[in-house]
Structure 1
Amino acid sequence: MDAIHKVVDKTRMFGELVMFSHTLFSLPFAIISMMWAADGLPAGEVMLWSLVALVAARNGANAFNRLVDREFDAQNPRTAHRHLPKRLLMEREVTVFIVLNYALFILAAGMLNPLCLALSPVAIVLISSYSYTKRFTWLSHLYLGFTIASAPIGAWFAVTGEWALTPFILGTVVMLWIAGFDIIYATQDIEFDRSAGLWSVPRVFGYEDALFISRTLHTVMVSLLILLYFFRDSLGWVYLIGIGLSIVLLAIEHRIIKPTSRERMNVASYNLNQVISMVILACTLLDQLL
């Protein structure tokens, strides 16, 4: 029983390390992209291997980020409780976890089509390199969004094996959305970033201007979602309802921001955005069925 408990605890800790629940940020947009690419539901095998690739890439990238940032996390009171600073997980364990997930990602890409397999090493470099950007540029938020935007783009390639404009528009939506709420989250660490020599929009531009930049990114994001309605003839009124609900949720998100309240910041940066992605997915799927 002790061995089983250890395995369960270790699994739980790895899930917490990579914030597995945050898969809801990229997963809904990847599903939307696959559905649009297939003009309906994609083949079961394509759906399976696409989801395996998405989860494996995300787990590997998040674990890599935690490994690279472990010294900064240990110095920051807000993150000092994380698994690596607390030595709840060892560096070698996390390294093995990263390698296994990236290997699974490459395997899944190879099971999809030659284009996905060829692009898989490029994707690994992109999603891993984000961890270093905050050391030299305040554009790190946009780069984070750019790496996560690979989910809907890769999902399109998984279904069609071909290039197209739609997944790149959807990817840009994801990039702006992620960057916007990552800037919100970073307002908690303005003083620490300054003392540690890390770069962020809040550190460079200040609190108020950072929130203005975040609102601007989200405004452009919503505009692109509306553009997709006109760009894709198959979209209808249910899709627009989803966009309208997302606008309301984004407004609430920006309204409740309070860096001194960790609970509010988690709701604004994470919880509401998980709801937003699921609302867009649900309305897009329903729109497709109608």
Structure 2
Amino acid sequence: MQIIEKFIDYGRMVKFSHSLFALPFAGLAAILAFLESDLMLRDIIRLSVLIIVAMISARSAAMGFNRYIDSEMDEKNPRTSDREIPKGKISPASVLFFIGLSSFVFLFSSYLINMLCFVLAFPVLFILFFYSLAKRFTLLCHFILGIAISLAPLGAWIAIREEFDWIPMLFSLGLFLHIAGFDILYAIQDMDFDKSANLHSIPARLGETNSYRLAIASHIISLAFFVFAGYVAMLGWIYYLSLAVVVLLLIEEHKISHDYAKRLLPPRFYQINSFISLIIFLGILIDRWSEVLNKLELLVRL
């Protein structure tokens, strides 16, 4: 039972359930790359497993580092004081071991994917860790988080195609600004604490009104990138219908943020963000469903 409880504590520390947000974006890039590849079915299965392992381990390392670095601030912040390190459920030494293990798994799985992924894994890990420090000296921290998470589509494409391409880059740019806008809204609830702790979040430095404006602008531009990505990838009306649903969800997300202002945001605020990635993924999957089936049937026969 103690082992299970420890696993639960570590899962809560890194917010394992939130890993599901970036996976659909990696999945949509993997689908589009798969349709343009000459890989055999066994290679597709192997790469899919490795992509999932790499993404989960990279995010676990990044979140573990974030919790370790911010443990003293988390203890002082009423919203985060019950996290696992401040509460003593997980020791700092254990977190360091967890970060090292997760980093190793990420680097090793990247090596097993291909050499380009392995070489790029080191700067990716640096960016993931750097975000946790950014709030201490720049209000661009929200956009640095956006960069870190936006690497998911590009990384999945490189894993399968071993090359850069405009299609995943456009999806990554859309995800970059989407995450930045979300994180600005998220940071409003900590605005007063960030001011007192001399942290450089946009809400703490530019105020609540300007934060809402920047979040809206980020989300509008991110939608433009998603539209352009669909055009370049020659996606059909089902994909654009999914983006229309995303617009409605973003409106609801902003409404919740306004309603709760500087108070603790409710769970549905985070759930909406997870739905957005899943809806865009499903839009692409359904749009290309017949092509995916035909390709799979062909590979099974080989």
> Which residue is 1:29 aligned to?
25
Matching of residue 103 in structure 1 with residue 104 in structure 2: yes
> Which residue is 1:120 aligned to?
121
Matching of residue 280 in structure 1 with residue 280 in structure 2: yes
> Which residue is 2:154 aligned to?
153
Equivalenced residue count is 283
Give the TM-score normalised by the residue count of structure 2. 0.91
Amino acid at match of 1:15: G
**Deviation at 1:267?**
2.4
Alpha-carbon separation, structure 1, partners of 2:280 and 2:132: 28
Amino acid at match of 2:151: S
Percentage of pairs with the same residue? 34
**Deviation at 1:82?**
0.5
> Which residue is 2:300 aligned to?
none
Amino acid at match of 2:112: M
> Which residue is 1:243 aligned to?
243
Matching of residue 52 in structure 1 with residue 53 in structure 2: yes
**Deviation at 1:229?**
2.1
Written as runs of structure 1 = structure 2, the 5 A alignment for 1:1-290 is 5-39=1-35, 43-233=44-234, 235-257=235-257, 258-264=260-266, 266-268=267-269, 270-290=270-290
The Cα offsets for residues 181-228 of structure 1, whole Å up to 9 and x where unpaired, read as: 111110011111111111111111110110111011000111111111
Alpha-carbon separation, structure 1, partners of 2:126 and 2:230: 33
The Cα offsets for residues 240-268 of structure 1, whole Å up to 9 and x where unpaired, read as: 1110100010011111221354243x422
Alpha-carbon separation, structure 2, partners of 1:11 and 1:278: 26
**Deviation at 1:282?**
1.2
The Cα offsets for residues 11-66 of structure 1, whole Å up to 9 and x where unpaired, read as: 00000000001012211000111111122797101101011100000011001100
Alpha-carbon separation, structure 2, partners of 1:118 and 1:177: 27
Q: CA RMSD in A?
A: 1.3
Alpha-carbon separation, structure 1, partners of 2:4 and 2:199: 35
Alpha-carbon separation, structure 2, partners of 1:150 and 1:239: 21
Amino acid at match of 1:240: Y
Give the TM-score normalised by the residue count of structure 1. 0.95
Unaligned 5+ segments in structure 2 are 291-302
The Cα offsets for residues 51-97 of structure 1, whole Å up to 9 and x where unpaired, read as: 11000000110011000000110111111110111111000111111
Alpha-carbon separation, structure 2, partners of 1:181 and 1:126: 19
SS of aligned partner of 1:62:
helix
Unaligned 5+ segments in structure 1 are none
SS of aligned partner of 1:252:
helix
Instruction: Indicate if the aligned counterparts of 2:58 and 2:106 stay in contact, CA closer than 8 A.
Output: yes
SS of aligned partner of 1:138:
coil
